[in-house]
Amino acid sequence: DAKTTQPPSMDCAEGRAANLPCNHSTISGNEYVYWYRQIHSQGPQYIIHGLKNNETNEMASLIITEDRKSSTLILPHATLRDTAVYYCIVRVAYIQGAQKLVFGQGTRLTINP
């Protein structure tokens, strides 16, 4: 399974862009990169995903390098409610055609007022 490496913690000022890096140097060509976040002890919440093109939705942007060995999640205008643990995940094919999310340790993002 492809593994991801993230910094254990980051800080960001409220209203600024939060840029969360992720390394996934062993990712295979057909494996997607997903980002989830977990606020307090709630269930993980989906943010965004991509294969090789940059993606944007109402929550965030995902920038994937051309060689796909790393990516960056961007929260354009961070708020206090964005304080959470952010997981960069590689979705890998599993048996019976199912997929599984391989969770790493995540980055604890703290948004400061």
Partner 1 sequence: NAGVTQTPKFQVLKTGQSMTLQCAQDMNHEYMSWYRQDPGMGLRLIHYSVGAGITDQGEVPNGYNVSRSTTEDFPLRLLSAAPSQTSVYFCASSYNRGTDTQYFGPGTRLTVL
Q: b/e for 11-22, b at 16 or more Cβ within 10 A?
A: ebeeeeebebeb
Count the residues of the shown chain that bind partner 1, applying the rule CB under 8 A: 21
42 binds partner 1 (CB under 8 A): yes
Among 106, 107, 109, 111, binds partner 1 (CB under 8 A): 106
100 binds partner 1 (CB under 8 A): yes
Minimum Å gap between C-beta 14 and partner 1 is 26
Site for partner 1 in 48-87 (CB under 8 A): 49, 87
Q: What is the 3-state secondary structure (H, E, C) of 56-96?
A: ECCCCEEEECCCCCEEEEEECCCCHHHCEEEEEEEEEECHH
Among 7, 19, 51, 103, binds partner 1 (CB under 8 A): 103
